[in-house]
Amino acid sequence: MSTDKISTMREAIKKFVHNNELVFLGGFGNGIAFSAAHEIIRQDLKSLTVCKCGGGILFDQLIGAGVVDQIITSHCWNPHGPQPAWNLKRAMEEGIPNNLIYNEQSLFMINMSFYAGYMGVPFMPIRSIVGTDIFDNPKEVGLKAAKVECPFTGEEICVVPAINPDVGIIQVQRADIEGNAQMWGLIGDTKFGINACKRIIVAAEEIVDKAVIMESPERTIVSSNKVDAVVHEPWGGHPGYMQGYYYTDLEYRFNYAKETKEIRDWNKWLEKWITGVNDRQEYLNILGEDKLRKLKAKNLIQGAVNYGY
């Protein structure tokens, strides 16, 4: 018997994301969970620790809104330019809007930490990090990695701890009402990260029948038994891209730096795009039909597979 987990983003965030929690936000270029992050800001959550491989301007917005105390990521910048993430800079240098702990990781080690959490093991070995400041000078965050002796070879090897976020949110191409979620294109840390989470919210461009999911089960990155809520949220990854649905909004992302450089400019940007709108639909109304039409992906259907028997 199917279980309908359909929710609005507002309802899902209110029910499953709480102050002082560790939150994973999926997407690495493809399917970044911008809509979910914006709703977290609107609900004025506090003292969150947020984690993902590349924080980018998503983390910069969460920092500027004052909802996070700590970020766990490899980088937080605006790659379009490249340009600075001004809210990160203000928080680290001036404590504006609050002091921030930056738990710097490498892309690989955070992926392996998510993989350990996904697998249900306490740590994962890697052949890197030792000899870098990430390992040698972890600063206020404490031990990020350690060296252990391999029981089989006696070799000393670096290990990183499992990360198991309290809650995770991903933006995918499609899901059914039970929460079977499918994603294709660049996956990044999304699959391992979301499966390491204790609670899961899936936001999808489309809600489809379960039969569609079953036609290509290999595209499913998280299954319904783990999912708590399903949100139908078209364009939820804008200004990033969603493979097969829309392109990266390069103009929006490039202009973000100049529009947020000064604190007064950031406050105007925040009100225009996040706190001054009620939901994603109002956000899209500001973006405008012309921009959406330009960003919409062209169809490219290839590689049909016959699973007949």
- What is the percent of the chain where pLDDT is above 90? 88
The domain defined by 6-104+164-294 carries CATH number 1.10.10.60 = no
Place of tokens 């928080």: 91
Residues 6+ apart with CB under 8 A from 117: 162, 163, 164, 165, 192, 195, 196, 197
What's the token pair of residue 104?
Answer: 């710097």
Q: Residue 13: which pLDDT band, with cuts at 50, 70 and 90?
A: very high
**How far is it, in rounded angstroms, from Cα 170 to Cα 181?**
9
**pLDDT tens digits, one per residue of 106-124:** 999 999 999 999 999 999 9
Q: What is the CA radius of gyration of the chain?
A: 20
Find the range with the poorest average confidence among 154-168, 190-204, 287-301: 287-301
**Which pTM does this prediction carry?**
0.95
Q: Where are the beta strands (DSSP E) in 176-295?
A: 181-182, 199-207, 220-222, 229-232
d(CA 89, CA 64): 10
Segments making up each domain of the chain, as ranges:
6-104+164-294, 123-161
For 234-264, the pLDDT digits (tens) are 999 999 999 999 999 999 999 999 999 999 9
Q: Could you report the per-residue pLDDT of 208-244, keeping only the tens digit for each? A: 999 999 999 999 999 999 999 999 999 999 999 999 9
Q: pLDDT (tens digit, 9 = 90+) per residue, 69-81?
A: 999 999 998 888 8
Q: 105 or 303: whose pLDDT is higher?
A: 105
